[in-house]
Amino acid sequence: MSSDVTLVRDLCGPGARQAARSLYRSYGGELYGFALRRLRDEGLAEELVQDVFTRAWRSAEQFEPSRGSVRTWLYAIARNAVIDSERRRGRRPPLSAGESGFEAVDAAEPIESALLRYQIQLGISRLTFEHRQVIELVHFRGLSLNEIAQQTGLALGTVKSRLYYATRSLRLALEELEVIR
Amino acid sequence: MSRCREFEVLLAAHVFAALEPAEHDALETHLAGCAECRQACSQLRDLPSLLDLAGGTEARIASPPPLLEASVLAAVPAGGERRRHHRPIPWQRSRQGTPSRRRGVSARRLAPALAAVLALVVAGVTQWPASPPRSVRLTLAPSPLAPASRAVAVLRSRPWGTEVDLQAQHLAPTHGAQIYEMWFVSPRGRVSAGTFTVGTQGHVTVTLASAAHAGQYRTLGVTLEPDGLNPARRGPNILHAKLHA
């Protein structure tokens, strides 16, 4: 994380573009995913990501590591940019899920809640298929370990250890995303 | 310690309430006497409620378009210079045509700047401070020789010519002496903006420079030169875009 702080510092100097490139490659994808989830418009989502990095570059001098991580800072900028974008869009309602091809999203959901939900989903998406599957079966479908073993054809001991490593991986992913500490 | 290892693997199933009654009771007994396993268990306890917020494990996480990076970087000067003079570039404006909201600037804060400008005028100074480089973003159209290729170029006007950030995809990899070359083209001739090669991935991100001032040329093109060491041999057009003065 300290390298991210250095990159933000570099935004203020001659290495600004290289620093912006590195920050974009670390965070641009997930910020775009959040923007698209919230705005449900690919063009607006792209504009928003550009806006986030432009704002970050402009305000890099004010970044204070003691107040939070670079990720927290960028997401705070993104949150404000989303609010501005939604205000500009005004009364025009976003496309419904069927029209846009995106997942149904509650447009009235407070942005903090939407952001947390997105980050958890992002953490889950970083798991392997096998780990996501065992979590889906045990938590969302309520199967016992024996039932999972029967359904998947795995040995019971394998199911136990797979669930254990899946939860550890999920916890690590959520720690990296700063959802939990 | 081996006893802990035996129970550790059950902790996840425990927080998801998926253990059989006998295993559940045995684990509870162990946890009552083992601070280390209680600590490990407490680290997993939040996960079920967080998963409830996610609503499932199948949510789609979108990936950004590959060319977005070039657009983002176009807003950041290579040297980070002229921070105070930076203004939004055209494609950063909202698609509804609404300008970006700007921070309010009070007349009191503007007063020193106005005074400085007036002083320059009164003193007969005619050279204004350098303005930020004008940037233009172009999407390059593929030729029939490379129908799948996609590219975007960001042109930045400089005192010495034009700087071009090119990001392209699905170009044929170069082999041997082959090179790609970018050109500014006018009815009177063409000026090179630089050359590059492409690896097996077919993707390239490169910054090129030309003495050409884009406003004096009609077309920006990329050719595939068969022999980079022999400028007499000219290769076919691969990408092109019209330039507007």
Q: What is the DSSP string of B64-128?
A: PPTTHHHHHHHTS-TT---GGG----GGGS-TTSPPPP-----HHHHHHHHHHHHHHHHTT--PP
* CB-defined contacts A:B, below 8 A: 166
By Cβ distance, the residue of A45, A51, A161 closest to B92 is: A51
For the segment A82-91, the average pLDDT, to the nearest whole number, is 78
Interface contact B18-A37, CB threshold 8 A = no
B65 at interface of A, judged by CB pairs closer than 8 A: yes
B99 at interface of A, judged by CB pairs closer than 8 A: no
Interface contact A57-B76, CB threshold 8 A = yes
Average pLDDT, chain B: 76
Distances in Å between the Cα of A66 and the Cα atoms of A16, A57, A70, A178, B27 are: 22, 19, 10, 15, 41
Of residues A98 and A15, the one with the higher pLDDT is: A15
Which of B58-67, B98-107, B140-149 is predicted with the least confidence, judged by mean pLDDT?
B98-107
**For residue B233, is pLDDT > 70?**
no
With contact defined as beta carbons under 8 Å apart, do A7 and A70 qualify?
Answer: yes
* Phi then psi dihedrals of residue B54, to 5 deg: -70, -30
**For residue B231, is pLDDT > 60?**
yes
**For residue A107, is pLDDT > 70?**
no
For residue A74, give both structure tokens: 């960028």
Of residues A10 and B135, the one with the higher pLDDT is: A10
Q: How confident is the model at residue B99 (pLDDT cuts 50, 70, 90)?
A: very low
B122 at interface of A, judged by CB pairs closer than 8 A: no
Determine the pLDDT at residue B50: 92
Question: What's the count of helices (H) and strands (E) in chain B, helices before strands?
Answer: 7, 8
ipTM of predicted complex: 0.85
Determine the pLDDT at residue A86: 84
For B23, the closest chain A residue by CA position comes to A145
Contact list, A97 vs chain B (CB under 8 Å): none
Interface contact A50-B71, CB threshold 8 A = yes
Of residues A99 and B202, the one with the higher pLDDT is: B202
By Cβ distance, the residue of B20, B69, B78 closest to A28 is: B69
Of residues A136 and A96, the one with the higher pLDDT is: A136
Q: Which amino acid is at B208?
A: L
